[in-house]
Amino acid sequence: MAATDILADTDSDDEIPPDWEERVTLDGKVYYANHAKQTTQWVHPTTGKKKVVKGELPYGWQRKVTDDGHVFYVDHINEKTTYTDPRLAFAEEVKDSPMDFRQRFDGNTSAMQILLGRDLTGKYAIVTGANSGIGYETTRSLASHGCHVTLACRNTQSADMARSKILAEYPTAEMEVMEVDLASLASVRHFTDKYNARQWPLHILILNAGVFGLPHTLTVDGLETTFQVNHLAQVYLTKLLTPTLVTSAPSRVILVSSESHRFTDEASVKQLSEEKLSPPASKYQAMRAYNLSKLCNVLFSQELNARYMEQGVTSNSLHPGNMMYSSLSRNWWLYRLLFYLARPFTKSMQQGAATSLFCAIAQELEGVGGLYFNNCCPCRPSDYCFQDNLSKKLWDISEKMLADRMSPDNEIPGKGTDSS
């Protein structure tokens, strides 16, 4: 087995000495038995660490009890039994603080490695842009571990093909294809109405879809396309789903941002306005628009977390990887060439999906939000993200832009608590 949500240390000083055995109680506490002295203790005999096992059994496992009261575990996938709790291999160190993160994964970790050992049966997720690239691998990984995944895509034909491909590999996977075009706020509203009408819960919302390198174009709502697709429509989608996220709590919102958010020009930030966010053709630059939209992802995630964390909804943003060769670069031949040349030196799509999955299911992130992740580890985002009230200002501008374009019947629900 590999990792569940947090891999146990693999350093040699964490190995069990001779004559010792690592065991776990039914309530998840790890203890150590010294067979030579016939004693037990709660701390590791070499490192002095205390550990616990958390969460459900790995996918496909079941705990049973014999007639004489002995507990054993059945691996239905591999048709094996053992008296050892399979979660013991992934026991977590007891930490003094939930913010005490340790680097457990890196840029080489795949999404499947993040999820190994997890049973997500009963969990419901939405992944935007799920038909290709990182979104596809995110969906495939979640669905293969029992999660019910809604593929929220503009191109439903491509999404149906993606779903069929996953089902061929994992016949019991539960997936639904639903159309949403982020270049149309009405389409976003239609999608959320349809989802909510099914009365499904929502535990994981992964905002993965995005565009890059577009020439200046306007959406049907009269807004610059990069801004609306990468930010405003995802804000609207989240807000319309917020009541469901709250009733399904604990739930998580994950925004796929980029390290490009660090390269936003200062003037755009200091003079944040509707025109800066959605500029006319005469003031438009493709990379500037993309960088600013990615900064908006981080700021929105921070503000969303501040407003709804107490209601059980947390939000984090992340960078998936540098210049991965996907459909994101499809809009200009030069971008396609640059991404193709960089392909041997970048992550695979499975590796690119790893940080999204870490933010979505890691048990150490339960109740923790407002952070920015790279390679499955929190890191400091752009200094702009620490400017007083900038996230609130973006929230207010976004809210006004949506209200101006939607009828009173489509008013944004649940404004939450002002975090300023």
Check pLDDT > 60 for residue 311: yes
Higher pLDDT, 114 or 43: 114
Phi, psi of 149 (to 5 degrees): -115, 130
Nearest to 217 by CA among 183, 177, 267: 183
Report how many helices (DSSP H) and strands (DSSP E) the chain contains, helices first.
13, 16
Q: Enter the pTM of the model.
A: 0.73
Residue 184 in this model has a pLDDT that exceeds 90: yes
Dihedral angle over CA of 255, 256, 262, 263, nearest 10: -120
Average pLDDT on 157-167 reads 97
Q: What is the pLDDT of residues 359-407, one digit of tens each?
A: 999 988 999 999 999 998 899 999 999 988 899 999 999 999 999 998 6
Across the chain, mean pLDDT equals 83
C-beta of residue 211 within 8 angstroms of C-beta of residue 276: no
**Is 290 marked active-site?**
yes
In this prediction, residues 113-133 reach a mean pLDDT of 93
CB crowding 285-306: b at 16 or more within 10 Å, else e? ebebbbbbbbbbbbbbbbbbbb
Cβ-contact 105, 7 below 8 angstroms: yes
Answer whether 409's CB lies under 8 Å from 323's CB: no
- pLDDT: which is higher, 322 or 168: 168
Cis peptide bond prior to 378, omega within 30° of 0:
no
pLDDT at 190 over 60: yes
Q: Which among 376, 358, 351, 359 has a CA at the least distance from the CA of 110?
A: 351
Tell me the DSSP string of 328-366: GGTT-HHHHHHHHHHGGGS--HHHHTHHHHHHHH-GGGT
Summarised one tens digit per residue, pLDDT across range 238-274 is: 999 999 999 999 999 999 999 999 988 887 788 899 9
Beta carbons within 10 angstroms of residue 148's beta carbon = 21
Residue 401's pLDDT is 97
Position 329 pLDDT exceeds 80: no
Q: Give yes or no for residue 185 having a pLDDT over 80.
A: yes
Widest distance between CA atoms in the chain:
80
Residue 111's SS3 state is helix
- Side-chain half-sphere exposure of 133, counting CA atoms within 13 A: 23
Domains defined along the chain, listed by start: 12-93 (2.20.70.10), 111-410 (3.40.50.720)
Q: What is the pLDDT of residues 266-307, one digit of tens each?
A: 877 888 999 999 999 999 999 999 999 999 999 999 999 999
Q: Are 253 and 314 in contact (CB under 8 A)?
A: yes
Residue range 38-63: mean pLDDT, rounded: 77
Determine the pLDDT at residue 106. 59
Spell out the long-range contacts of 184-187 with Cβ–Cβ below 8 A and sequence spacing 24 or more: 184/219, 184/220, 184/221, 184/233, 185/221, 185/228, 185/232, 185/233, 185/236, 185/402, 185/405, 185/406, 186/220
What is the sign of the dihedral through the CA atoms of 179, 181, 187 and 192? positive
For residue 39, what are the β-bridge partners?
34
Reference 208, options 262, 154, 251, 156; nearest CA is 154
Q: Which of 136, 236, 290, 325 is catalytic?
A: 290
